[in-house]
A and B are shown apart, each in its own frame.
Chain A
Amino acid sequence: SQQGEEDPQALSIQEGENATMNCSYKTSINNLQWYRQNSGRGLVHLILIRSNEREKHSGRLRVTLDTSKKSSSLLITASRAADTASYFCATDAGGGADGLTFGKGTHLIIQP
């Protein structure tokens, strides 16, 4: 079963705009990770945020985590056509020992 739920399921924006995706989860976590997947191939790791962190940045990416609401958001600023992909959040409840639990993903389309 899937723990996380990404919202929206699909998002289409113009190049240069910002894209925001949200993730909600159900159980306590050790950390939360965001991944990108192009055309049904392998997952690319974007960012990991620990349960005791509230915000993290990496280049054009900003991730927030609210453990009281069991939710996270991924913001991509100044989007580019190459950002077109599916984005997944994955929760880690056991410090790596229990595998990751993924949501169904948000499909992001950047229109040129």
Chain B
Amino acid sequence: DAGVTQSPTHLIKTRGQQVTLRCSPKSGHDTVSWYQQALGQGPQFIFQYYEEEERQRGNFPDRFSGHQFPNYSSELNVNALLLGDSALYLCASSSTGVYTEAFFGQGTRLTVV
């Protein structure tokens, strides 16, 4: 049973460019959340997708957008990249329910130069 998979593992982009990160959830999970983790910090919630809709959003600008597909996989898009967007981007999947564990992928390390 594959866990949460993310691609790519590493990415280098130039300021102003756009980037798309991908996530496949754990089998049986229908909810995908995205987090940004800056160096030395804990992960920060970006948004969550369920039934192909953005359900909740953290304190991130509209440059951050996402999508969920019918097979529950998800994409995170970031436009007009800034140096401060350099971080580890983590995808977590879970199933609906009140007490539900979130399982994380290995992350995508994004470096903006």
Contacts and interface: CB of A to CB of B under 8 A. Distances in A.
Interface of A: 1-2, 4, 30-31, 33, 35, 40-45, 48, 50, 88, 90, 94-105
Contacts of B39: 40
A42 B55 CA distance: 23
Given A42-B90, A99-B48, A101-B45, A30 B104 contact: no
Contact of B45 (A45, A48, A99, A105): A99
Interface of B: 4, 31, 33, 35, 37, 39-45, 47-48, 50, 55-56, 58-59, 88, 90, 92, 94, 96-107, 109
Contact of B94 (A88, A96, A105): A96
16 contacts: A2-B42, A33-B101, A42-B105, A45-B101, A48-B101, A50-B99, A88-B42, A96-B96, A96-B102, A97-B55, A97-B56, A99-B33, A99-B35, A99-B48, A99-B58, A104-B42
